[in-house]
């Protein structure tokens, strides 16, 4: 009887571990932004390459769009064919992302402002309040706040405290 009870308690944890190894869907409503809002970039240095349509920001780079802020050592901006809109931002070096109460960090990030798609890779750590999820790759839609964490996912949840009557 005791063994059966222990197995029943452990089964959800075992199944969660299997799901974590394969990839975990996450919902972080705080990491949402309106991709139609302007993108502002501040850095210590800017190099522009007219030939390939890129700009490289170096040193204490901070990118802001709405309530979302991304900080990194370098951010390369790839412009669309019209040379006016940003097709992609490639961040590298101590990437930190925050919006509201949610935050993430990684080694690199790739962001498409027009679609709101974000890819964080390398030692990804995502927090929402006291809850933490870590892995190697996070694919996230900043339009919906939904994403998938892959690569030996570890999750720590803090249970809600019971209400006192």
CA distance 138 to 107: 12
pTM: 0.74
In a domain, 58, yes or no: yes
In a domain, 5, yes or no: no
- pLDDT at residue 125 in the model: 94
- pLDDT at residue 141 in the model: 87
- pLDDT at residue 16 in the model: 35
In a domain, 13, yes or no: no
- pLDDT at residue 31 in the model: 61
Contacts of 113 (CB under 8 A, 6+ apart): 35, 39, 65, 86, 89
How many structural domains comprise the chain?
A: 1
In a domain, 62, yes or no: yes
Q: Which stretches of the chain score pLDDT less than 70? A: 1-33, 35, 165
In a domain, 140, yes or no: yes
In a domain, 38, yes or no: yes
pLDDT in tens, 64-75: 888 889 999 999
- pLDDT at residue 4 in the model: 29
Q: What is the distance, to the nearest Å, from the Cα of residue 66 to the centroid of all Cα atoms in its chain?
A: 16
Where residue 81 sits, what CATH number does that domain have?
A: 2.60.450.10
- pLDDT at residue 123 in the model: 95
- pLDDT at residue 20 in the model: 39
């Amino acid at each position: 009887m005791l063994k059966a009870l222990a197995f029943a308690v452990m089964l959800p944890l075992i199944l969660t571990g299997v799901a974590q190894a394969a990839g975990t869907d996450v919902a972080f409503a705080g990491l949402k932004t309106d991709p139609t809002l302007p993108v502002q970039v501040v850095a210590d240095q800017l190099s522009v390459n007219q030939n390939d349509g890129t700009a490289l920001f170096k040193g204490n780079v901070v990118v802001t769009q709405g309530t979302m802020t991304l900080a990194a050592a370098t951010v390369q901006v790839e412009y669309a064919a019209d040379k006016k809109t940003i097709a992609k931002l490639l961040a590298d070096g101590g990437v930190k992302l925050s919006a509201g109460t949610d935050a993430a960090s990684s080694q690199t990030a790739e962001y498409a402002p027009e679609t709101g798609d974000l890819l964080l890779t390398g030692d990804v750590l995502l927090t929402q309040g006291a809850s933490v999820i870590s892995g190697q790759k996070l694919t996230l839609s900043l339009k919906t706040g939904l994403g998938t964490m892959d690569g030996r996912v570890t999750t720590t949840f803090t249970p809600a405290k019971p209400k006192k009557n």
